[in-house]
Amino acid sequence: MTPGVGRRPRPRLDAVLAVRRAVRVFLAEPDVTEHLGSGELFVAVSGGADSLALAEAAAHVGGRRDLRVCALVVDHRLQPGSDEVAERAAEEALRLGAHAAKVLPVTVTGPGGPEAAARKARYAALREHVGEGSLVLLGHTLDDQAETVLLGLGRGSGARSLAGMRPLEVPWARPLLSTPRAVTRAACDELGVRPWEDPHNADPRFRRVRVRREVLPLLEDVLAGGVAEALARTARQLREDCDALDSIAKDVHDRAYEGETLRVDVLERAPSPVRRRVLRTWLLRGGARELTDAHLRSVDDLVGRWRGQGGVFLPGGVEARRTHEKLVLNRCQPTTRGS
């Protein structure tokens, strides 16, 4: 008999192995390991390719580390039949090796449009279910990170938003931020899984969908590839820079803070980007809301471009003013009509 004849070809599992490797490396990070003490690991599963591939990898890697892996599926109850979609996702997660799976139905209400309200309800339900001391793995991929960075860039919303999503923000953990979406899709193919396609993911009314389907492919073409990786790399560098600046700003804030005011002589010695971080923290704690870059620059001018100007009025009903070499915050009285 010819060697090999009659033997079944082994299925290729390259993508499955790549996702497992990403999860294994992530779980071995010391700042992640310290949160695995409960012995339980949760995976948020939407039924899409990313989170199903993640659930399989978590069950495989977690099982070898004596972790009990539990899939959590949030049913937003926004479309008829959403309960069946959620049940199917939970069953699929069990089939892929999760030790347990649970559907969490939520009621989506509140401001900001259905997408934002659904996200808020989803994170609240997940957080409430897992309580303290455990991690919830989320299936955000390299491509999600690239989209987040591009959207932030377009909004001009500053370094913090260009820094993208963090790998670890307890209880949230994102092991797949360096894994392309194409790999999670290929992993599902290799596993024989048919992921659920969220119709919103094809709806061009959502900016993120157009960035995914139109902007990124065009950029990849014009810049000859590697754009998603480059954006994710930029996000990581900016995150590290932001963290360093935040820690310097915290030190300046602690030295400048005196009885709810800020000492101008301490602020003057810090560079403006550090000062604006200090001011942001101080103003938000003092009741200011929805601060823009323009607000922060106006308050910063009380230090960096001082020429005796008056106070700066801010959303949230507060006024920042410089007086006797200190920045002080005054709460403004709401004006009464006719007075």
Ligand X SMILES: Nc1ncnc2c1ncn2[C@@H]1O[C@H](COP(=O)(O)OP(=O)(O)OP(=O)(O)O)[C@@H](O)[C@H]1O
Binding site for ligand X (CB under 6 A): 44-46, 48-51, 72-74, 122, 138-140, 144, 198, 201
Nearer to ligand X, 107 or 309 (CB): 107
Nearer to ligand X, 44 or 314 (CB): 44
Shortest CB 218 distance to ligand X, Å = 21
What lies within 8 Å, CB to CB, of 78 at 6+ separation is 108, 114, 118
Strand residue runs (E) in the chain = 40-44, 68-75, 100-105, 135-137, 168-169, 172-173, 257-258, 261-263, 312-314, 318-323, 326-331
Nearer to ligand X, 13 or 209 (CB): 209
Does residue 49 have a known ligand-binding role? yes
Does residue 221 have a known ligand-binding role? no
Shortest CB 257 distance to ligand X, Å = 38
Shortest CB 328 distance to ligand X, Å = 43
Shortest CB 272 distance to ligand X, Å = 35
What lies within 8 Å, CB to CB, of 285 at 6+ separation is none
Shortest CB 214 distance to ligand X, Å = 17
DSSP code string of 151-183: HHHHHT--HHHHT---SEETTEE-TTTTS-HHH
Does residue 50 have a known ligand-binding role? yes
Shortest CB 49 distance to ligand X, Å = 5
Of the candidates 150, 151, 152, which has an alpha carbon nearest to the alpha carbon of residue 160? Answer: 152
DSSP code string of 260-281: TEEEHHHHHTS-HHHHHHHHHH
What is the Cα–Cα distance from 271 to 250, expressed in whole angstroms? 13
Nearer to ligand X, 44 or 235 (CB): 44
Does residue 247 have a known ligand-binding role? no
Q: Label residue 280 exposed, middle or buried (CB < 10 Å: 0-12, 13-18, 19+).
A: buried
Nearer to ligand X, 147 or 300 (CB): 147
Q: Which 3 state secondary structure label does DSSP give 327?
A: strand
Nearer to ligand X, 96 or 288 (CB): 96
Does residue 51 have a known ligand-binding role? yes
**Which position's Cβ is nearest ligand X?**
48
Binding site, annotated residues for ATP: 46-51
Where is the binding site, in residues? 46-51
